[in-house]
Structure 1
């Protein structure tokens, strides 16, 4: 903990900062470490997801600890219910970051807080890599969680990404501190929890250094993904915006895929592997003026308009719109 916090402090984060504080072991340790290092400069943000009966108990625990530490606490209640077919974990994460954005826009945060720290650690990073592998993810998924990123004017940090989860709990026990346990963390209906309960102990036994090696692989993937993003931006500048079909056809399939994923992400869309394969086939076949391109991707449609590709976020088929 001490080494990780010293490295974070060396990065000179803007103060005051806010700690994303759930009341669990990891965020409790991060809050205590930040409050010790920067007394009077730390706030706590607690997101009440409302997904289980224990959520009110989590909030009470957070209130009591923050009162004892003299740390200002802001609580934001969110609706984190997942829609049909959506991942409960993904829905909760989206609701959480939406709440962080809302907190950052409050008058108090706008005037002061430009740094938010989150307590995900080395085990979480390893779980994220394994989860990405289980889903057949590309480089963006295998890059796992970044240590630092920015949303608007607020910089987010994960200072504990190099710290194993068990060491964090040992550090808290050494301080005699308590924390809350989220019962959903042991529910093996969730893939991440199965990874935590079954795979991480096996990896610990077979490859004791797996946390460090997985993190190194994730860093390599992140670097490669950054290069692909640079190439996509350069290719998009050459192909035009929106993409000109004839110019697209001069690129290799790999570069077409890279460019199209980059462009679709700018529209808030993401194509599956099967959808991208179909799209490349339609682009390759587009050799006559009357050839149509029309493909459902996510919540919208990709189609040909004259000599370019056009994206529409309408859920209705272009054919039905006339």
Structure 2
């Protein structure tokens, strides 16, 4: 069931004081102002200036004004997020933003351990649809978690059950302005096309799609938790680095799980589906000591080292 902003914050229990990532857009403005009202004097704001568009200076000025109006301490950080070959500019900017948010919180307010982000129900649906369009597995279909730990901080998305329109309506009812990001209307971005074209069609055909899609994402997240436990148990059995004979005793599906887990946990890399299937074929073919293996996987190469697999980063 869709929530109001007030209902979402009633269910939100951050450690105090806490920080809010504040872009100046409608979503983060609603979250920041509502939190400042609910927890007076306990809220901090962090604004990240990406320098990606001419309007960025205006966003910063607006954030300064809102924080001055509400007496909210504000930390400003500027990032230039260049992207690596094969990496999308959006992904590079997102990683740089998280790093800058964490650095700002730790340096400005060492007592703060919790950070709130303003993604809402529509963002969650968009994330799920993008994952489906890419043929994602359970980790992608689980979409955005409501709570997680990263970079030594606790991160929260308290508004994942609140529609974006509800946040804007709340701001209007409070007489609070916000700034519009000009890039939000550019349909060259997949997320913007979904927002402009797909969500209105879904609302007409499936009025409860936000709630039902969110349940599906939650089910996927729960199933992935079970698979992570199985993968951890299998990795303990096959060893680190994985022993080839022990891998061969597992079903192909469990080999996929344990190899993904090994590569992600110990080498911070994610193989493609095609790379994993080729790796499984190579593992199955390792029936003699002389069989060599060197296969591009993720950002490096999986090789054979005696009776075990080894990973060499590029």
TM exceeding 0.5:
yes
Q: For 1:312, what is the secondary structure of its paired residue?
A: strand
Match of 2:139 in 1: 140
Q: Write out aligned runs for 1:132-171 (5 A).
A: 132-171=131-170
Question: CA–CA distance in 2 between the matches of 1:306 and 1:58?
Answer: 57
TM-score (norm: length of structure 1):
0.94
Alpha-carbon displacement from aligned partner over 1:254-289 (angstroms, at most 9, x marks no partner):
000000001110111111111011000000000000
Q: C-alpha displacement at 1:298, in angstroms? A: 2.5
Alpha-carbon displacement from aligned partner over 1:84-111 (angstroms, at most 9, x marks no partner):
43212111111111112212331x322x
When residues 298 and 97 of structure 1 are mapped into structure 2, their CA distance, relative to the original with a 3 A threshold, is same
Question: CA–CA distance in 1 between the matches of 2:151 and 2:182?
Answer: 34
Question: Does 1:217 find its partner at 2:221?
Answer: no
Question: Does 1:129 find its partner at 2:125?
Answer: no
Question: CA–CA distance in 2 between the matches of 1:153 and 1:13?
Answer: 15
Question: Does the 8 A contact of 1:51 with 1:81 survive in 2?
Answer: no
Structure 2 gap segments, 5+ residues each: none
Question: CA–CA distance in 1 between the matches of 2:80 and 2:302?
Answer: 31
Match of 2:283 in 1: 283
TM superposition outliers: structure 1 runs of 4+ over 4 Å: none
TM-score (norm: length of structure 2):
0.97
Match of 2:6 in 1: 2
Question: CA–CA distance in 2 between the matches of 1:81 and 1:239?
Answer: 39
Question: Does the 8 A contact of 1:129 with 1:144 survive in 2?
Answer: yes
Match of 2:303 in 1: 303
When residues 91 and 152 of structure 1 are mapped into structure 2, their CA distance, relative to the original with a 3 A threshold, is closer
Q: Which stretch has the larger CA shift, 46-55 or 297-306?
A: 297-306
Question: CA–CA distance in 2 between the matches of 1:36 and 1:261?
Answer: 44
Question: Does the 8 A contact of 1:81 with 1:92 survive in 2?
Answer: yes
Q: For 1:156, what is the secondary structure of its paired residue?
A: strand
Match of 1:207 in 2: 206
Q: For 2:109, what is the secondary structure of its paired residue?
A: helix
Superposed CA RMSD in Å reads: 0.9
Q: Write out aligned runs for 1:234-313 (5 A).
A: 234-266=233-265, 267-313=267-313
Question: Does the 8 A contact of 1:17 with 1:114 survive in 2?
Answer: yes
Question: CA–CA distance in 1 between the matches of 2:15 and 2:87?
Answer: 36
Alpha-carbon displacement from aligned partner over 1:38-91 (angstroms, at most 9, x marks no partner):
101100000111100000100000001100100000011011233343212111
Q: How many pairs does the alignment contain? A: 309
Question: CA–CA distance in 2 between the matches of 1:146 and 1:226?
Answer: 12
